[in-house]
Amino acid sequence: MIVVMNINATAREISDVIARIRAMGYDVHLSEGKERTIIGVIGRGRPIDREQLALMSGVQSVMPVSHPFKIASREYHPDDTLIPLNGIMVGGPNLAIIAGPCSVESREQIIETAYAVREAGATALRGGAFKPRSSPYAFQGLGEEGLRYLAEAREATGLPVVTEVMDPQLVPLVCQYADVLQIGARNMQNYTLLHAVGESQHPVLLKRGMSSTIEELLMSAEYILSHGNMRVMVCERGIRTFETYTRNTFDINAIPVLKRLSHLPVIADPSHGVGRWEYVESVALAAVAAGADGLIIEVHPQPEQALSDGQQSLRPERFAELVARVRQLAPVVGRQVAEPQLQQV
Amino acid sequence: MIVVMNINATAREISDVIARIRAMGYDVHLSEGKERTIIGVIGRGRPIDREQLALMSGVQSVMPVSHPFKIASREYHPDDTLIPLNGIMVGGPNLAIIAGPCSVESREQIIETAYAVREAGATALRGGAFKPRSSPYAFQGLGEEGLRYLAEAREATGLPVVTEVMDPQLVPLVCQYADVLQIGARNMQNYTLLHAVGESQHPVLLKRGMSSTIEELLMSAEYILSHGNMRVMVCERGIRTFETYTRNTFDINAIPVLKRLSHLPVIADPSHGVGRWEYVESVALAAVAAGADGLIIEVHPQPEQALSDGQQSLRPERFAELVARVRQLAPVVGRQVAEPQLQQV
Amino acid sequence: MIVVMNINATAREISDVIARIRAMGYDVHLSEGKERTIIGVIGRGRPIDREQLALMSGVQSVMPVSHPFKIASREYHPDDTLIPLNGIMVGGPNLAIIAGPCSVESREQIIETAYAVREAGATALRGGAFKPRSSPYAFQGLGEEGLRYLAEAREATGLPVVTEVMDPQLVPLVCQYADVLQIGARNMQNYTLLHAVGESQHPVLLKRGMSSTIEELLMSAEYILSHGNMRVMVCERGIRTFETYTRNTFDINAIPVLKRLSHLPVIADPSHGVGRWEYVESVALAAVAAGADGLIIEVHPQPEQALSDGQQSLRPERFAELVARVRQLAPVVGRQVAEPQLQQV
Amino acid sequence: MIVVMNINATAREISDVIARIRAMGYDVHLSEGKERTIIGVIGRGRPIDREQLALMSGVQSVMPVSHPFKIASREYHPDDTLIPLNGIMVGGPNLAIIAGPCSVESREQIIETAYAVREAGATALRGGAFKPRSSPYAFQGLGEEGLRYLAEAREATGLPVVTEVMDPQLVPLVCQYADVLQIGARNMQNYTLLHAVGESQHPVLLKRGMSSTIEELLMSAEYILSHGNMRVMVCERGIRTFETYTRNTFDINAIPVLKRLSHLPVIADPSHGVGRWEYVESVALAAVAAGADGLIIEVHPQPEQALSDGQQSLRPERFAELVARVRQLAPVVGRQVAEPQLQQV
């Protein structure tokens, strides 16, 4: 059971609720977000009278545990969560299209790509400055230098920046440069990091771990939400299966399931989901048809020279075609893609 | 290496080719289909001069082994294979929509459903008379009685019948009643059965095994093709993964991959692919957006009373809505759904 | 619920029980084995008084459905099932060691291997005459010729023969030559075939499908048992996972789980389970330590020339070392390996 | 290609090597561990003369990239790595047995358990103070208080302490209390954390991610090794598969594979590997038979009251039986378990 306190609940009200719960033989887990405090009731004690608790001063609601995730659930928040990004509300009728290279490789590369994707109709620019690589000897990203180039690209094009943060200590630094913090698939259950981005107020793009269930993805979102940051987008990016022809298996089922279980926007990453550029457009269209709120697509001016993920990156002209196809498809599922000029500075 | 003989190659031409291959130190595997003979070159011998072989009398072509499947590959047959079904050509611009209950349960149930799905725009009627069930104590289907009801439903509605065959010995019997033979997921590598349907000239709907790779699916298609039956549709129906919220994981990637690797029509089964009726429409739309040539959907007049698969069956009215949505979506990917009246008798 | 009839129940007794069940609003599924009839109660009717049914004439027992498998369960048959093979009882303290090539390739190869594995301490000889191959162009086995060579090898060495049957129609033929019928992994849910071997009285070695759960394996065993053949050994042979370094992932957990859930002997196949000969001995020892009742091991006199599975086949001298190690390990888990001389003719 | 510098290579020698590599058109990746510097050669340039590089001052060796991991490979370090723990050398003939509760729950619980597992023959004590939990509302561990109790338990019993660290910033704190740092499965690819423990000189127990391949596990070990910490034990703890009867699928194949590919000690975790206490002993014996260098086992005085993982925890008396069985089995595979008295203070 979860007790959700009012946003302006006082410390005294909170401690009264805790005392009452303990008196009934339970322990409590306190999630003190910047915005609100949530009290988890732990263990087994006397039957709890939910009505009584709900009547206490400072309590907003008392929720039974139907799903292990609470704040992320539709029961808790029936309306779609909307997150502003470059003039659109992600989660609403406008599809968010986030595009750019896997890694920021140079100032020229990222600025050239930013102009190209903006022209094609992108809503935001992606690019990795800190790269999680399975080999310690592989290119690890340009680090803060990469962040500066991303900021320059935003300056030039007006596109907000989505970039990954891997180190909890670097969250404040990345927040200085980025508009959206990306949590990568490998870090989906890095709770120290989830805690750190939960303390920030930056929007978060949380990628599903490559072998995480839908429920585990929503539990990781819950970590961020329970620390007070309500701006979470979850991202389906393909799961690990026995199939080896494709890099991952894009879990198309997860799109409508996530939309039903949760109010959070759902972004699809067909680039990682299939892992070969020839198939990215088909999977992107499928994701939109299935109800995704947006796409994140890898685009590189010269994929054959990319330092990472070249095999799954689209050239800008192919990306423009993809956006054109999505623009045609969107109305069938009650969506639209903003025209390119709307995103200009 | 594979030697494909001409359709009218003589026994003498075939034996000459075999003799030549053996003289070079190889063994041969002979696939004598009704239409043509294919000679597989097995083992390791002296380097083979493909040109020489290709020049022999009766030889159509000599193919190196790039994919393990040959006749199923786009290299072998660059154009899409088209299979006639109820006035449309499956594999062409018209989407095939096959619908009906998991099991034929009674004469009334199957005829009522047939009328309902025809009205909604279905191209063909599905229904199982022989059911593969993991429990020997579960309902195993009505058997030949079920086949007769299916034939009655066809008589009444004009819809061709798609039904599963499990026993190689029963192929002739099922061919008497069915228009399309379905090979179920559990039997995808039942080579005795593949051989038997390969000897018939009935169109085959070959379902992907729940843990079979895309390549293995095409290898199983190859079994049927190599026995002379060229009318094979392959069907993506979800694979087994670690995710437990959905019954299977529909492999959306497989749709464009199969279309690129092979010329065979690709049918999507979202009912099994997601396993819960609430999500069937979203996955169906996704499959069409990704390039599927058709859909196979479970429809039951009273899903809560179905003897099998009730949880993933749509009521007829929901199915009609699904077809209406597919009809809107199809033109975006260059397809169409024939209007209901076109399918009337 | 399952009603198990006495072995000598009369047709009248059976029809009386069926009538009673139907009168309560249920349907029945009849499994008429050669030895006994089992009646499955299907559907939802009035609450059943088990006591009453159990008191009817000809009824042996009435079992509730705790597991979906019944006859295969420990509840139904608390003692270990013992199956005689070459003088030992499989399922008892003596470990069964079945060894031989993947495929019978020639008369000499199988006889030479038979002598070699007998000398090392094998209990039985394995060898495939009918081979399920994913490619229609790969070597499919010698067929009946292979069966004859196996019979010659038995004649020469006294080793009983374990060989696969794939075609339900060929069960009588294979029974003429083989001592144990093997059902391969791809056919674990080929119910027509399970039915056919269930009608025979030959011992069956049932391999787990590469993506089948433990429960599904026991359900497939139930098919055979419910048709009256009680001599079933189940075989763990590795499952399909995301790991690609090994051919399969040997599910060591399945060994103790199967022993607890069921009374049937459990055979381990480390050759397929790991797929590389360097690791076969380690996995074989692990399987015995975990409680397996026997091993099935691929042995080939010249693995580098094997027509199939060469990479996972042991040379006879390595196999002899493996048996020697197993002989040392066995007493730690209360087992033994019979000395070679015991198996001589 | 990887250039391994001598331990005492000077900054000048390092910069000379870098300059030479760059002159050939490559980029470099520098891993500056406390002990030694390793230079990764990145990109495509002119063919490199390995001999020339190897002859440069300060260079120890130049290695081609056969496996993506280098320092972790047997080619790089043919002898087994030995890591001292409580008087034995892990990786040598003595099996390490690490035992204790999932979580430190109280001072009494951990000290009582420590005495019990020491008496049964444990080499070290495990216990979590910081717990990664998929729910933010679940018990997260006692934190530093838990570390203090672990230190008290060590004081009392002489058993060294193995405990998890999740936060890179807390590595120094945990090092104050722990003898071995555990990296949990969820953090196997948390590179910031791997970097931090690589900078320490504490032994590390690195658990395989639940969906990580064997190669990825060794790549993560490589991260730690490349930062200068050579004391890494890798741990197989079960992988995520389609099987749901057991919590995970213990990958027994991974034991001999890891021993062949790498020189690092391999520890088996049957508690997580199977997830149900009834089966832990069987899987533990299997792991030792397959070549594991040690075991890590969850033991709790009252499993039914454990705050986490009660279902897979053994009571102390069952653990003692398990150790007794392992002690019998060990000599068959050339191992031994030290007698309890040897571990006393």
- Residue A244 buriedness (CB in 10 A; 0-12 / 13-18 / 19+): exposed
What are D143-190's pLDDT values in tens digits? Answer: 999 999 999 999 999 999 999 999 999 999 999 999 999 999 999 999
Looking at residues A31-45, what average pLDDT do you find? Answer: 73
Q: Which residue has the tokens 């019978």?
A: C104
CA distance D277 to chain A (A): 22
The β-bridge relationship of strands D59-63 and D2-5 is antiparallel
The total number of residues shown for chain B amounts to 345
Rounded to 5 degrees, what angle do the CA atoms C70, C168, B222 make? 115
CA–CA distances in Å: residue A275 to residues A100, A250, A344, D340: 15, 9, 30, 53
A28-42, A216-230, C57-71, D202-216: the lowest-pLDDT one: A28-42
Alpha-carbon distance of D274 to D284, in angstroms, equals 10
Q: How far is CA A109 from CA A105, A127, A150, in A?
A: 6, 10, 10
Which residue of D210, D239, D241, D242 is the best one to mutate when testing the B interface, meaning the one whose CB has the most B CBs within 10 A?
D242
Distance between CA atoms of A59 and B51, rounded to whole angstroms? 84
Residue C64 confidence (pLDDT) above 80: no
Enter the tokens of residue B209: 């095994």
- pLDDT grade, residue B45 (50/70/90)? low
User: Would you say residue B344 has pLDDT above 50?
Assistant: no
Chains in contact with C, counting 3 or more C-beta pairs less than 8 Å apart as contact:
A, B, D
Q: What is the mean pLDDT of residues C280-305?
A: 96
Of the candidates B97, B98, B91, the one whose C-alpha atom is nearest the C-alpha of residue B74 is B91
Cβ(A207)–Cβ(D211) under 8 Å?
Answer: no
Q: What is the pLDDT of residues A321-338, one digit of tens each?
A: 999 999 999 999 999 997
**A343 has pLDDT over 60:** no
Cα(B178)–Cα(B196) distance, rounded to whole angstroms?
15
The whole-number pLDDT of residue A33 equals: 66
Interface with chain C: mutation pick from A242, A245, A249, highest number of C CBs within 10 Å: A242
Residues in chain C: 345
Please name the member of D31, D167, D226 whose beta carbon is closest to the beta carbon of A168. Answer: D167
Q: Which residue has the higher pLDDT, C174 or C41?
A: C174
ipTM of the complex: 0.86
Is residue D148 within 8 Å of D127, Cβ to Cβ?
no
- Which chains sit next to B, with 3 or more Cβ pairs under 8 A? A, C, D
Q: Are B325 and B281 in contact (CB under 8 A)?
A: yes
Report the DSSP beta bridge partners of residue B3.
B39, B62
Can you give the pLDDT at residue A344? 45
Look at residue B345 in the predicted model and tell me its pLDDT.
Answer: 42
What tens digit of pLDDT does each residue of B80-136 get?
A: 999 999 999 999 999 999 999 999 999 999 999 999 999 999 999 999 999 988 888
| Max mean pLDDT range (C41-45, C77-81, D133-137) | C77-81
**pLDDT range class, residue D43, cuts 50, 70, 90:** low
Taking the CB of residue C168, how many other CB atoms lie within 10 A of it? 22
pLDDT, residue B327, reads 97
pLDDT of residue C342: 45
In angstroms, the CA A60 to CA A42 distance is: 19
Kindly give, in sequence order, each residue whose CB lies less than 8 Å from that of residue D19, ignoring residues fewer than 6 positions away. Answer: none
CB contact under 8 A, B211 and D242: yes
What's the pLDDT score for residue D341?
A: 52
A307 pLDDT band, cuts 50/70/90, is: confident
Mean pLDDT, all residues of chain A: 91
Nearest to residue B177, comparing CAs of B166, B161, B194? B161
Give pLDDT tens digits for B159-211. Answer: 999 999 999 999 999 999 999 999 999 999 999 999 999 999 899 999 999 99
Question: Are D211 and B242 an interchain contact pair (Cβ–Cβ within 8 Å)?
Answer: yes
**A211 contacts in chain C (CB < 8 Å):** 242
Q: What is the 8-class DSSP label of residue D184?
A: P
**Cβ <8 Å between A136 and D169:** no
C-beta separation of A76 from A63 below 8 A = yes
User: How far is Cα of residue D20 from the mean position of the Cα atoms in its chain?
Assistant: 36
Option in D245, D279, D329 nearest C215 (CB): D245
Cα distances (angstroms) measured from residue C331 to each of C270, C288, D291: 20, 10, 18
Burial of B340 (0-12, 13-18, 19+ CB in 10 A): middle
Chain A residue whose CA is closest to B247: A253
Closest by alpha carbon to B207, among B279, B142, B132? B132
| Average pLDDT value over all residues in chain D | 91
**pLDDT tens digits, B153-172:** 999 999 999 999 999 999 99
On whether the CB atoms of residues C204 and C231 are closer than 8 A, the answer is: yes
pLDDT in the model for residue D44: 64
Which chain C positions have a beta carbon within 8 Å of B186's beta carbon?
189-190
Residues in chain B with CB shorter than 8 Å from the CB of A266 are: none
Mean pLDDT check: name the lowest of A50-54, C156-160, D128-132. Answer: A50-54
* Average pLDDT for chain C: 91
The answer on pLDDT for A177 being more than 80 is: yes
Nearest chain B residue (CA) to C240: B211
Query: Chain D residues with CB-CB distance to C under 8 A?
Result: 211, 213-215, 239, 241-246, 249-257, 260, 273-274, 278-279, 282-283, 285-291, 325, 328-329, 332-333
Average pLDDT rounded to a whole number, residues D248-268: 97
C244 with A244: Cβ contact below 8 A: yes
Q: Do D215 and C291 touch (CB under 8 A)?
A: no
First-to-last alpha carbon distance for chain A, in angstroms, is 47
Whole-number pLDDT of residue C16: 93
Tell me the pLDDT tens digit for each residue of B241-262: 999 999 999 999 999 999 999 9
Res D11 pLDDT > 70: yes
pLDDT tens string C293-339: 999 999 999 988 887 788 899 999 999 999 999 999 999 999 999 77
Region C22-26 average pLDDT: 86
Is B239–A244 a contact, with Cβ atoms under 8 angstroms apart?
Answer: no
> What whole-number distance in Å separates Cα of residue A68 and Cα of residue B187?
38
* Chain D nearest-CA residue for B248: D242
Nearest residue of B to residue C194, measured between CA atoms: B136
C82-96, D74-88, D144-158, D203-217, range with the lowest pLDDT? D74-88
At A34 the pLDDT is 65
Nearest chain D Cα distance for residue C274, angstroms: 6
D240·B244 Cβ contact <8 A: no
What is the predicted pLDDT for the residue at A210? 94
So what's the pLDDT on residue A48? 75
Spatial separation of the C-alpha atoms in residues D309 and D313, rounded to whole Å: 6
- The pLDDT tens digits for B292-332 are 999 999 999 999 888 888 899 999 999 999 999 999 999 99
User: What pLDDT was estimated at residue B342?
Assistant: 45
Interface residues of chain A, partner chain D, Cβ below 8 Å: 2, 27, 29, 31, 40, 42, 68-70, 132-140, 166-169, 186-187, 189-193, 209-211, 216, 219-220, 222-223, 226-227, 240
Percent of chain C with pLDDT over 70: 96
pLDDT for the residue numbered B196: 96
Confidence (pLDDT) at C46? 72
Q: Report the predicted TM-score, pTM, of the whole model to 2 decimal places.
A: 0.86
- Phi and psi for B297 in degrees, rounded to 5? -130, 135
Query: Running DSSP on this structure, what letter comes out for residue B331?
Result: G
Chain A partners of B211 at a C-beta cutoff of 8 Å? 242
Cα of B219 to nearest chain A Cα, Å = 14
Percent of chain B with pLDDT over 70: 95
Contact list, A167 vs chain D (CB under 8 Å): 168, 192
CA-angle at A286, arms to B99 and A122, nearest 5°:
160
Instruction: Please give the CATH superfamily to which domain A83-343 belongs.
Output: Aldolase class I (3.20.20.70)
Smallest CA–CA distance from A239 into chain D, residue: D211
- Of the listed ranges A307-316, C248-257, D108-117, D227-236, the one predicted with least confidence: A307-316
* Domain C2-63 CATH superfamily: Phospho-2-dehydro-3-deoxyheptonate aldolase; domain 1 (3.30.70.1140)
Cβ–Cβ of A191/D137 closer than 8 Å? no
Tens of pLDDT, residues D288-342: 999 999 999 999 999 988 888 889 999 999 999 999 999 999 999 999 997 765 4
B64 pLDDT more than 80 = no
Closest CA to A265 of A215, A195, A204: A204
CA distance C108 to chain D (A): 33
Average confidence (pLDDT) over B49-54: 79
How distant is the Cα of B251 from the closest Cα of chain D, in angstroms?
Answer: 16
Task: Give the distance from residue C71's alpha carbon to the nearest chain B alpha carbon, in angstroms.
Answer: 11
Q: Name the minimum distance, in Å, from the CA of C272 to any CA of chain D.
A: 11
What is the phi/psi pair of residue C336, to 5°? -150, 160
What is the number of CB-based contacts under 8 A between chain B and chain D?
8
| Interface A-B: count of C-beta contacts within 8 A | 121
Q: Name the residue with higher pLDDT: C40 or D47.
A: C40
Of D214, D283, D333, the CB nearest to C252: D283
Subunits next to A (3 or more Cβ pairs <8 Å) are B, C, D
CA distance D246 to chain B (A): 12
Q: Where in chain D is the domain with CATH 3.20.20.70?
A: 83-343
For CATH 3.30.70.1140, the residue range(s) in chain A are: 2-63
For chain C, how long is the longest CA-to-CA vector? 65
CA C108 to chain CA mean position, Å? 27
